Amino acid sequence: MKFSMLLLSLLLPLCLLAQKDLPRGMAPQEWTFLQSGLYDFPEGLDGITTPPPYPVRAMAEWEELQALTVTWTSYKPILAEIIGYAKAECEVIVVCSDSNQVKNELINNYFLPDLNNISFLQAPYNSVWIRDYGPNCVYANEVDSLYIIDWIYNRPRPKDDLVPEKIAEFMNIPIYSTTQAPNDLVHTGGNFMPDGMGTVFSEELLLDENGTNNNFGVTPKTEAQVDQIMNSFMGVDNYIKVTNLPYDGIHHIDMHFYLLDEETILLALYPEGVADGPQIEANLQYILSNYLSPFGTPYKVVRIQSPPSGSGNYPPSGAYRTYANLLFINKTVLVPTYDPQYDNPNLDILRAQLPGYKVYGIDCNSIIGASGALHCITKPIGVADPLLIQHQPLEDVVNYYEPFEVNARIQHRTGISGANLYFTTDTTLGYTAVPMTLTDPTEHTWTGYIPGQLAATEVFYYVEGVANSGKTMVRPMPAPASYWNFQVDFTTGTTEAVDALTEMAAIFPNPANAITCIPIESKESTEGTIELVDILGRTVHTIHSGSIPQGKSNYFLQAQDFEAGTYYVRLQTAQEQLVQKVIIK
């Protein structure tokens, strides 16, 4: 393909040249030019046009980053604020036309204290919307080599379309391009929301722009053909596509939908019947009715209110204000903000969902009118050697006394030498470490156990993996400041459950160091077992096994026969299980 700058200059005079004025959507002159059929999308300079030689996995938003890329053009105050936060977490690569000018602006106009961890890539560009045209990261064989995948950009912006090549060359990362038939594919980063486990969400814009009578000159493709290309180049096994929204204009899913983790959807909320609210809800119900999370369970949904514009109007009369257009940068999360009355409660929701992450708001009123915010003007580059931890957090439980099994899929290209589970019921007192065991080598599953709990308790935990190379990683990434948590509620001790047949009164003396009495009262004769168990739920000693008579009876533990520490006395009958803590001195 060859691109005629003469034709472009004739048909797109000021629109394409005035880079700061280009919207995220198609400018009128661009749309006219595209429909004329005169624009020929540029080839990649060095991109390999066949699929990667190994199965690949698209990186999720919350995975570890080595760099964040931005293009230094319009909305510079917002870009400078992003750079200020991001450089504390990873390298920031600034695509620009004059690095000295950018350095001067960052220091003197936007008051960055230093330029540490910022690199400058001088390369041509057309617009600020690097999310859409920038490099897409995948890993061979789940966690091996890092590759960049470059799609045909769905805008007639030839300089933008070549930026992934420049970044790949700058970072010395192999690049594969969907620019040649039969794998020619038009796509945009804002309409691509991966979970890191083979599932991706997009609006149907992808099918429109690659289907019959498309305006991009690509070979028309069926949905099955699109899916095959995305599987070969991006590792997408489960491609969930939803109806385009009527009012967002650009049909990019990141304007209203974001994955906070593998099973949690953050979704824009509108007043009933307003703007895109009805279609968003219909799309959600379609997802919930037809798909499960990669863990085989229903998706969780967190709704976050989309505010009206300053005039009180919603789209299409007002700006498309969204909080879903956020981004993870390792341990930091940046969120677009607009108005404190809406910002504060929505930031509270996100902080509750992401405990331990540093969640910062950045005012996006100046950019949202162009149909984009923070996610749209940034593009992440994953680390070269990810230590991948995937885990489905435990749910709240009632009347559960056994140890809690924690399974995590942990991988690194050098292999995993060990893993640990950290838990506590009080984060101010620190965490207890429990070694995890490799229980399924094929699926890279490591398993550990949190001891059963005795009272209405909140349990906090996180997982650590150690690679053979020595690299260590935790998830959630900011742990121990961050954690997963679940609530345990049940009847125990001297409290009798409704309709319970058996009650365990308070054990005495407790703490114990000699003969210790365990009082039991049963409404009827039953069979049962009374055991002393350790904090991991393992049976240390069977105190009684057999008949438990109707009425009151006492059973005894010789505490002096056991090492000092915390134990539990567990009564198990066919009808119920009762547990009580005992301290042996």
Residue 535 pLDDT: 66
Q: Averaged over 20-37, what is the pLDDT?
A: 82
Distances (CA, A) of 199 to 234, 288, 525: 10, 14, 54
- Sheet with 539-548, strands from edge to edge, namely 539-548, 526-533, 565-573, 577-584
Calculate the average pLDDT of the chain: 91
**How much of the chain, in percent, has pLDDT values that exceed 70?**
93
Residue 1 pLDDT: 38
Residue 34 pLDDT: 83
| Number of separate domains in the chain | 3
Give the domain CATH number at 144.
Answer: 3.75.10.10
Secondary structure letter of residue 385 according to DSSP: S
Q: Let me know if residue 497 belongs to a domain.
A: no
Residue 35 pLDDT: 80
Residue listed under structure tokens 């005079």: 13
Q: Let me know if residue 494 belongs to a domain.
A: no
pLDDT band at 578 (very low <50, low <70, confident <90, very high): confident
The 10s digit of each residue's pLDDT in 529-542 is 999 987 666 789 99
Does the pLDDT value for residue 391 go beyond 90?
Answer: yes
DSSP labels for 274-342?
A: -TTHHHHHHHHHHHHHH---TTSSPPEEEEEEPPP-TTSPPTTTS----SS--EEETTEEEEEE--HHH
Q: Greater confidence, 353 or 46?
A: 353
Let me know whether 474 and 553 are in one domain: no
Q: What amino acid is encoded at 359 in this protein?
A: V
- The last residue of one of the domains, among 325, 353, 382, is 382
Residue 284 pLDDT: 97
Does the pLDDT value for residue 5 go beyond 90?
Answer: no
Does the pLDDT value for residue 305 go beyond 50?
Answer: yes
- The last residue of one of the domains, among 468, 489, 510, is 489
Let me know whether 539 and 405 are in one domain: no
- The last residue of one of the domains, among 489, 517, 534, is 489
Among the ranges given (5-14, 155-164, 182-191), the one the predictor scored with the smallest mean pLDDT: 5-14
The number of helices, as runs of H, and strands, as runs of E, in the chain is 12, 35
- Which residues have C-beta within 8 Å of that of residue 171, sequence separation ≥ 6? 67, 93, 381
Let me know whether 184 and 86 are in one domain: yes
- Domain range for residue 430? 388-489
Q: Averaged over 456-472, what is the pLDDT?
A: 95
Does the pLDDT value for residue 495 go beyond 70?
Answer: no
CB 246 within 8 A of CB 283: no
**How much of the chain, in percent, has pLDDT values that exceed 90?**
81
Pairing of strands 91-96, 65-71: parallel
Let me know whether 143 and 40 are in one domain: yes
**What does the alpha-carbon distance between residue 321 and residue 448 come to, in Å, rounded to a whole number?**
43
Give the domain CATH number at 542.
Answer: 2.60.40.3080
Residue 318 pLDDT: 92
Residue 258 pLDDT: 98
Residue 268 pLDDT: 97
Let me know whether 554 and 448 are in one domain: no
pLDDT band at 9 (very low <50, low <70, confident <90, very high): very low
User: Across the strands, what pairs with 48?
Assistant: 176
Let me know whether 244 and 329 are in one domain: yes
Does the pLDDT value for residue 561 go beyond 80?
Answer: yes
Helix (H, G, I), strand (E, B) or coil at 98: coil
The 10s digit of each residue's pLDDT in 153-163 is 999 999 999 99
Does the pLDDT value for residue 4 go beyond 70?
Answer: no
Let me know whether 456 and 555 are in one domain: no
Residue listed under structure tokens 């119900």: 285
CB 567 within 8 A of CB 541: no
The 10s digit of each residue's pLDDT in 193-226 is 999 999 999 999 999 999 998 989 899 999 999 9
Q: Let me know if residue 61 belongs to a domain.
A: yes
Let me know whether 143 and 39 are in one domain: yes
User: Across the strands, what pairs with 312?
Assistant: none
Residue listed under structure tokens 């059973």: 555
Does the pLDDT value for residue 496 go beyond 60?
Answer: no
Let me know whether 445 and 412 are in one domain: yes
Let me know whether 473 and 521 are in one domain: no
Q: Greater confidence, 558 or 581?
A: 558
